Amino acid sequence: MKNGLIIAIIGLLMLGILAGGIWLLSSGETADAATIDAANQLYVSGHYSEAARIYEQEIARGVQDSTVYFNLGNAYFEQGDMGRAVLNLQRAAELAPRDPDIQANLELAQQQTTELFAEEPTGPVAILAGLTSWMTLNEAAILVLALWFLLGFFILAYREIQGPRGRRLAQTLALVVLILMLLAGVSLASRSFLLQTQPPGVVVTPSVAISDSPGASSPSSYHLTGGTEVKVIDQVGDWIRLDTPQGAGESWVPATAVEPIT
């Protein structure tokens, strides 16, 4: 009885610390509802550039909201700026990967452009990264942390429980949680690694010529249209190198032509 009380207290304590900590860390700037309403009004009345400007101002304040990015992406789509449409819809998808509206509009925008100028990553890193692709990076980070807390709880419970059956159960659950935590942790690390080494970006200019080396004097052999999704693998001065489909050689473009998704 006494041990059960101790376990319950420890569990509640850990839950409280975890929930409180995550809540504090996840708090960010909230978009002003009235401003968004007004921007939406401008959008509905056909003033897409004005609406886009207001959405951009909210984002410049530090707001990271999938709704704002979604609406901004739509505003650019209506203006025919596929580059910024894809860019902002991708940013919305990063924040809300399970939102069907965002996925639908993103696919629509991607149909207007060359979807991806790079090979999809393969190998164990990509496979592991895909395990948590259905959630945002922050959600994956919270999942790993919560599993770590759960593991600690089951270890404590194992030490407190007297009966053999209870201890066996706590031991099994701890093992299961450990495996899940390791998988989620490795997936999170893989995603972070891919983001660091090959940050995704979108071409935001209507067209950009690819050069074989940095510098405008290099001959252009290929053009990318606005909205093309790329992966950046290097930067030299004002030029960035894109990950290229195999066998295509080096691909350099001016850094101003591409904006990062995250």
Partner 1 sequence: MNKKFLFTTILTLLLLSVMALPALGQSPVTAEVDRNFLSTDDALVLMVTIDTGTGDAARPTLPTMNDFQILGSSSGTQITVVNGDMTVQETYSYSLRPLREGALVIDPVTVQINGQTYTTDPITVEVTQGTGQPQQGGSSGGAFPTLPGFPNLNQMLPNMPGSQTQQLDPSEMPTELEGQDYFIEAEVDHDNPYQGEELVYTFRFYQAGSLFDQPDYTAPSFTGFWSKELSDQQMNYSTEAAGRPYRVTELQTILVPTVTGEVTIDPAQLSIPGDFFSSGVDLQTQPITVSVQPLPQNAPDSFRGAVGQFEISAATDLTQAEVNDTVTMDVTITGTGNLETMPDPVWTEGPEWRSFDSKATVNAQFVDGKLQGSRTYERVLLPTENGDLVLPAIEFSYFNPVTGQYETKSTEPITVQVTGDVGAGASLAPLDPGTAVPQNAATAAVNPVLRPIKSSAELSSSAASALTGQTGYWLLWVVPLLLLVGHFSWKSYQQRRLDTADLRRSKSAAGKAKKALKEAQNAGLGQEAAGPILTAYMEEKMNRPVVGLSHTQLVNLLSANGVDDDLSRRVQNCLMLSEMGRYAPAELTLKQGDLWSETAAVIDALDTNL
Residues that bind partner 1 (CB under 8 A): 10, 13-14, 17-18, 21-22, 24-31, 33-34, 36-38, 40-47, 50, 53-54, 57, 62-68, 70-71, 74-75, 77-78, 95, 101, 104-105, 108, 136-138, 141-142, 145, 148-149, 151-153, 155-156, 159, 188, 192
Instruction: Write down the residue that tokens 């404590």 correspond to.
Output: 156
Shorter beta-carbon distance to partner 1: residue 36 or 203: 36
Task: For residues 73 and 201, give the distance between their C-alpha atoms in angstroms, rounded to a whole number.
Answer: 15
Amino acid at position 253, single letter: V
Shorter beta-carbon distance to partner 1: residue 50 or 212: 50
Shorter beta-carbon distance to partner 1: residue 99 or 259: 99
Smallest distance from partner 1 to CB 241, Å = 24
Shorter beta-carbon distance to partner 1: residue 169 or 195: 195
Decide: residue 56, CB within 10 A, 0-12 exposed, 13-18 middle, 19+ buried: middle
Q: Is 109 in contact with 75 (CB distance < 8 Å)?
A: no
Shorter beta-carbon distance to partner 1: residue 40 or 218: 40
Smallest distance from partner 1 to CB 34, Å = 7
Name which of 90, 122, 118 is nearest 253 in CA terms.
118
Smallest distance from partner 1 to CB 255, Å = 20
Task: For residues 181 and 143, give the distance between their C-alpha atoms in angstroms, rounded to a whole number.
Answer: 8
* Beta bridge mates, 208: 224
Smallest distance from partner 1 to CB 38, Å = 6
Task: For residues 156 and 14, give the distance between their C-alpha atoms in angstroms, rounded to a whole number.
Answer: 11
Smallest distance from partner 1 to CB 218, Å = 19
Distance of CA 94 to the CA centre of its chain: 3
Task: For residues 75 and 58, give the distance between their C-alpha atoms in angstroms, rounded to a whole number.
Answer: 14
Shorter beta-carbon distance to partner 1: residue 30 or 220: 30
Smallest distance from partner 1 to CB 151, Å = 7
Task: For residues 189 and 178, give the distance between their C-alpha atoms in angstroms, rounded to a whole number.
Answer: 16
